[in-house]
């Protein structure tokens, strides 16, 4: 059984590395002025993956922070999944040309499901991740600002039929709160979709959380605030990256 992928996160607003609490743009903390420095620190810790989010793009419905994306792709060897406002074929084409590994699609999957299906067919489904941001299992869209009136299980069902292979589910109630992930939600998703590659996001605050997510046989765990606040050190993650069979 493959191990849990450790995926550190960088969220971008105005070109800076920030974190939100429960998806609230009014509760933003700037951690670093230069996201490239953060990405290089992750790489130096022997981490392989990066979850990169353009929060400006998520609000505007189009990618905004292109320079950050280009710099990270040009200056690191990280395997990057990117999200935040991707809405046009040209954006998808350019991101893939830059070497972005996968593209997260959230609001557009609700508003224009046929477009995502078209992208699955045109660019290959494995290049996309359905990004479901949920509150009480209801999907939220437009930078977590409005309810989609969709249950996450129903949305996932719809796209499984269209070829979906990857899902990242963020529990907004947990995100940025360092209170632990919503394990019941991830257990429910894994039981319903055993073959889907599921990434957990939101609330991860300790190595014990990662161990429990690994036991659920999830594909990956996205870690943000816990790293920036020193709850989980890069040294600990580096040890895990270099000795994945030793456990957490």
DSSP notation for the chain: -PPPEEEEEEEEETTEEEEEETTEEEEEEEEES-HHHHHHHHHHTT--EEEEEEHHHHHHTS---HHHHHHHHHH---EEEEES---SHHHHHHHHHHT--EEEE-HHHHH-HHHHHHHIIIIIGGGEEEEEEEETTEEEETTTTEEEEEEHHHHHHHHHTTT--EEEEEETTTTTTTS---HHHHHHHHHH-TTSEEEEES---SHHHHHHHHHTT-SEEEE-HHHHTTSS-HHHHHHHHH-GGG--
Query: Which residues have a catalytic role annotated?
Result: 11, 133
């Amino acid at each position: 059984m493959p191990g849990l992928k450790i995926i550190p996160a960088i969220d971008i607003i105005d070109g800076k590395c920030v974190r939100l609490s429960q998806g609230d743009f009014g509760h933003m903390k700037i951690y670093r002025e230069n996201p490239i420095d953060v990405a290089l620190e992750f790489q130096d810790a022997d981490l392989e993956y990066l979850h990169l989010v353009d929060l400006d793009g998520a609000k505007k419905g189009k990618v905004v922070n292109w320079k950050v994306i280009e710099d990270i792709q040009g200056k690191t060897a990280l395997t990057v999944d990117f999200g935040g406002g991707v809405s046009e074929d040209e954006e998808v084409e350019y991101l893939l040309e830059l070497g972005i590994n996968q593209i997260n699609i959230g609001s557009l999957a609700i508003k224009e499901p046929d477009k995502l299906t078209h992208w699955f067919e045109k660019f290959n489904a494995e290049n996309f991740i359905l990004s479901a941001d949920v509150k009480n299992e209801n999907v939220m869209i437009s930078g977590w600002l409005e309810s989609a009136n969709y249950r996450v299980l129903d949305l996932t069902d719809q796209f499984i039929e269209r070829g979906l292979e990857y899902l990242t589910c963020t529990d907004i109630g947990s995100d940025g709160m360092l209170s632990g992930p919503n394990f019941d939600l991830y257990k429910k998703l894994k039981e319903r979709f055993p073959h889907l590659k599921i990434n957990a996001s939101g609330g991860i605050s300790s190595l014990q959380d990662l161990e429990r997510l690994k036991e659920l046989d999830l594909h990956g765990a996205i870690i943000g605030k816990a790293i920036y606040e020193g709850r989980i050190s890069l040294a600990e993650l580096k040890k895990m990256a270099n000795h994945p069979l030793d456990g957490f």
